Amino acid sequence: MQLQQSMEPELPLALLARQLQHINFTLLQGPYAPKRQTNKHWQKWRSTAALAGVCVVVYLLVQGFSIWQLDRQLTQVQQQSLAEYRQAFPGETVVNLSRQVEQKLATVGMGSESAGFLTLLNALQRQLAEVGDINVDSLRFDAARTELRFSANAGGFQNFERLKTALEGAGYVIEQGALSNDGARVQGTVVMRSRT
User: Which of the pair, 115 or 137, is modelled with greater confidence?
Assistant: 137
pTM above 0.75, yes or no: no
Supply the DSSP symbol for 23: -
User: Which of the pair, 83 or 18, is modelled with greater confidence?
Assistant: 83
Neighbouring C-alpha atoms within 13 Å toward the C-beta of 171: 6
**What mean pLDDT comes out for the span 26-39?**
73
Q: What percent of the chain has pLDDT over 70?
A: 86
Are residues 163 and 128 in contact, defined by beta-carbon separation less than 8 angstroms? yes
Q: Is the per-residue pLDDT at 73 higher than 70?
A: yes
- CA distances in angstroms from 87 to 2, 80, 90, listed in the order given: 114, 10, 6
H/E element, 46 = helix 40-88
Are residues 163 and 189 in contact, defined by beta-carbon separation less than 8 angstroms? no
Q: Is the per-residue pLDDT at 177 higher than 60?
A: yes
Burial call 97-132: b when 16+ CB within 10 Å, e when fewer: eeeebeeeeeeeeeeeebebbeebbebbeebbeebe
- Cβ count near 168 (within 10 Å): 14
pLDDT of residue 60: 97
pLDDT of residue 4: 63
